[in-house]
Amino acid sequence: MENPKPIKVALIGNPNTGKTSLFNQLTGLTQKVGNYPGVTVDKKQGTCRLSGNKTAIITDLPGTYSINPTSVDESIVLTSLLNTSDANFPDVIVVVADIENLKRNLFLFSQVKDLEIPIVLAINMADQIERKGISIDIETLQKELQTEIVLISARKKQGIDKVKNAIENCISVSSAKPLCSINHKIDEDYFKKLKGISDNHTLYELWLMITQNNFPDTLLSAEKRKLQEFMQDVSKVKRYQHKETIHRYKQINDILKTTYKVDQSKAKDLRGKLDRVFTHKIFGYVIFFGILLLIFQSIFDWSSAPMDFIDGQFANLGEFVKVQMNPGVLTDLITDGIIPGIGGVIIFIPQIAILFLFVAVLEETGYMSRVVFLMDKIMRRYGMSGKSVIPLISGTACAIPAVMATRTISGWKERLITILVTPFTTCSARLPVYAILISLVIPDKKLFGFFSLQGFTLLSLYALGFLTAMVSAFLLHKTLKVKSSSFFVAEMPNYKLPSLKNVIFDVLEKTKAFVLGAGKIILAISVVLWFLASNGPQSYTDSEKNIRENVANKNISPDVIQQKIAAAKLENSYIGIMGKSIEPAIKPLGYDWKIGIALISSFAAREVFVGTLATIYSVESDDDDTSTIKERMRAEMNPDTGKKRFDLPVGMSLLIFYAFAMQCMGTLAIVKRETKSWKWPMIQLFGMGALAYIASFITFTIFS
């Protein structure tokens, strides 16, 4: 027997209602993350088995308080519900509500209900009913709302089967009737005229189209024109929206008056006590900075072992492939381009996963909202919002997910400034560069007998990155003329213990998104760089012949000849030519063309600097191959001065350069996507580049 067509189900609900918990319970490991066409909002889908051979495809829509959107994420909800012709248009909607804040949750429900799509109301955290002193009359409520209600507690896996049954019942007995008729209560004539425009859409749909300027493909162009006429009177539309909201709350209040009661004496809970501690004017900040320290400490400590392991495995893999395959261009592409390229992405997974783990736990528990509350006023002086704290913390792992995390900031100017300054925070790609340069040029001494000078330098670089971010935010705040008309509101959810399942799914999903998103770019650039380094004009092709002619009658070992050939090839390759052509520009900073090559290749990802120098010096060095990169770099001489190439002035200059320069194509691409313009990434590229250049020049001059 053929399987029946799966039922398409959309999950809708306020943030922090346990909607994602329910989604995880319904779909488990079947969930996939995709993208909505045209926007970068993640689309989470999974399948769920119903009775017999019936199945459902569940889509987890972004959490929202209303279907009137105020952000990109929220607009997805409206678009998904208006476009009836879309292949993903839901057959059934499950609205997830929180028992504690039923009134506000029913507001969203009342809007969705009016779209006249079959609907189920799942009231979550039912296990809390008694403890919170809540009494609820489900039967009457079902009648009043004309909807099947299921009591669940998603975390305890209670009521999940009832949700599945309700989905099946709902589609056979269509319960699609509007709840709040908006028309006659506000302005009967106005809404009558509006309804007259189209027979294929409900009044509420038409109303949403004009209030949200969101026209689905199903609308005829003549109808669209008429709707746009309605939009002319902006103040009337706005006034009626306000009236609609009040009308809905009034109706919900009337319904809840007889069906829902809270015994206030039992309602006082832990929240107030914890809030007093977490938002305390001293302890609040102490706890926050303690948590920050813990995060940084863990990012370094816990990730070093897996990172070394990954590094080693990719080196082995490269060796293995080199031995197994016949020498040739394809082998070179794989061993020198693709494998290191993929390795360069995979190596960041431990740090990024640990960071996401902390962020997920802090968000799940409700603590993150308190940080937003605590930091908002301080951040506002720098033109940002309390919600900018999360991206700035994330930036210490990688700027790419950090830029994406700015979406929760509702003010455009605040969000833009956060996006622009986030790349100054010291991301993990800078760390290998810092580590090798510091160990080369900073003496291994102790300050005051116990404080490592090298460690102190590293810490100062982190502080420098953060301070630069704040100072540039302040300057942008004072100079940027950007229209931004939105206001700040943050829900302060109740404190909860984090659910292991939710945290794990969240970390997996975000890490995967990073690997696939940033990975593509880093891999592509690695391959391009490989091509530029292994190809060149005529002089490149001739370099082998020239060297062989040069050494023909001299007594030189074949190994040395090979190395001389390799060095000549690199010098004459496209990337060598690029390095040489920028040499005059970077000479004032103390760099030569070889460092120039490393600077250019750092655009794939900053840590490529180390690998590139390793390649350059390995093809040049006269030592055995066993010497480490560090030893080779230490041995490198500056022919002009006869001193070491990596002395203190050059090392310091490079450290400062890497602290400031915008050398990350991945971040530039993501900033372009999020700001929808090349203007802002270009400002970052050239602004940060100029700062890096000037600061490095000054550093080099001071230390020389």
One residue of 5, 238, 445, 643 binding other proteins per CB under 8 A: 238
**Least Å distance between CB 635 and other proteins?**
54
Tokens of 519: 């990975």
**Least Å distance between CB 384 and other proteins?**
13
One residue of 490, 648, 669, 683 binding other proteins per CB under 8 A: 490
**Least Å distance between CB 688 and other proteins?**
30
**Least Å distance between CB 307 and other proteins?**
38
Closest to other proteins by CB, 260 or 540: 260
Nearest to 112 by CA among 87, 90, 136, 134: 90
Nearest to 100 by CA among 142, 64, 128: 128
Would you say 99 and 494 are in contact if contact means Cβ atoms under 8 Å apart?
A: no
Q: Which of residues 151-180 bind other proteins (CB under 8 A)?
A: none
Question: Does residue 66 touch other proteins according to CB under 8 A?
Answer: yes
Question: Does residue 281 touch other proteins according to CB under 8 A?
Answer: yes
Tokens of 571: 């010098």
Closest to other proteins by CB, 375 or 650: 375
Question: Does residue 249 touch other proteins according to CB under 8 A?
Answer: yes
Dist CA 165 CA 183 (whole Å): 34
Q: Please choose, out of 63-71, 202-210, 653-661, 689-697, the segment that lies near other proteins by the rule CB under 8 A.
A: 63-71
Question: Does residue 212 touch other proteins according to CB under 8 A?
Answer: no
Question: Does residue 474 touch other proteins according to CB under 8 A?
Answer: no
Instruction: Identify the residue whose tokens are 């622009």.
Output: 420
One residue of 60, 73, 100, 674 binding other proteins per CB under 8 A: 100
**Least Å distance between CB 115 and other proteins?**
16
Pairing state between β 55-60 and 119-124:
unpaired
Own/partner pairs, 479-482, CB within 8 angstroms, 24+ separation: 480/383, 480/413, 480/416, 480/417, 482/412, 482/413, 482/416
Tokens of 611: 């690998």
Dist CA 587 CA 697 (whole Å): 9
**Least Å distance between CB 100 and other proteins?**
8
Q: Which of residues 371-400 bind other proteins (CB under 8 A)?
A: 372-374, 376-378, 386
Number of residues that bind other proteins (CB under 8 A): 41
Question: Does residue 63 touch other proteins according to CB under 8 A?
Answer: no
Instruction: Identify the residue whose tokens are 């929808």.
Output: 676
Binding string, 430-449, against other proteins, x = CB under 8 A?
--------------------
Binding string, 341-370, against other proteins, x = CB under 8 A?
----------------------------x-
One residue of 241, 408, 454, 457 binding other proteins per CB under 8 A: 241
**Least Å distance between CB 212 and other proteins?**
11
Closest to other proteins by CB, 272 or 642: 272
**What does the DSSP assignment read for 391-460?**
HHHHTTT-HHHHHHGGGG--SHHHHHHHHHHGGGS--TTHHHHHHHHHHHHS---EETTTEEHHHHHHHH
What 3-state class would DSSP assign to 147? coil
Q: How many beta carbons lie within 10 A of that of residue 537, not counting itself?
A: 11
Closest to other proteins by CB, 176 or 256: 256
Q: Please choose, out of 100-108, 594-602, 651-659, 682-690, the segment that lies near other proteins by the rule CB under 8 A.
A: 100-108
One residue of 70, 408, 499, 546 binding other proteins per CB under 8 A: 70
Question: Does residue 229 touch other proteins according to CB under 8 A?
Answer: no
One residue of 30, 83, 245, 452 binding other proteins per CB under 8 A: 245
Question: Does residue 270 touch other proteins according to CB under 8 A?
Answer: no
Q: How many residues comprise the chain?
A: 704
Dist CA 572 CA 195 (whole Å): 73
Question: Does residue 558 touch other proteins according to CB under 8 A?
Answer: no
Closest to other proteins by CB, 281 or 483: 281
One residue of 269, 275, 332, 542 binding other proteins per CB under 8 A: 275
Dist CA 519 CA 271 (whole Å): 42
Closest to other proteins by CB, 230 or 591: 230
Question: Does residue 408 touch other proteins according to CB under 8 A?
Answer: no
Dist CA 119 CA 599 (whole Å): 57
One residue of 234, 487, 552, 626 binding other proteins per CB under 8 A: 487
One residue of 18, 62, 159, 284 binding other proteins per CB under 8 A: 284
User: Buried (b) or exposed (e) across 386-407, using 16+ Cβ within 10 A?
Assistant: bbbbbbbbbbbbbbbbbbbbbb
Question: Does residue 328 touch other proteins according to CB under 8 A?
Answer: no
One residue of 8, 43, 104, 430 binding other proteins per CB under 8 A: 104
Helix axes 102-113, 138-145, angle to 10 degrees: 30
**Least Å distance between CB 256 and other proteins?**
10
Would you say 90 and 171 are in contact if contact means Cβ atoms under 8 Å apart?
A: no
Question: Does residue 546 touch other proteins according to CB under 8 A?
Answer: no
What 3-state class would DSSP assign to 581? helix
**Least Å distance between CB 232 and other proteins?**
19
Q: Please choose, out of 433-441, 491-499, 504-512, 677-685, the segment that lies near other proteins by the rule CB under 8 A.
A: 491-499
What 3-state class would DSSP assign to 42? strand
**Least Å distance between CB 272 and other proteins?**
7
Dist CA 110 CA 207 (whole Å): 15
Dist CA 500 CA 157 (whole Å): 13
Rama region for 444: left / alpha / beta (φ>0; ψ in -120 to 50; rest): beta
Angle at 77 between CA 73 and CA 80, to 5 degrees: 125
Sites of contact with other proteins (CB under 8 A): 65-66, 68, 70, 100-104, 107, 238, 241-242, 245-246, 249, 271-272, 275-276, 279-281, 284-285, 369, 372-374, 376-378, 386, 487-494
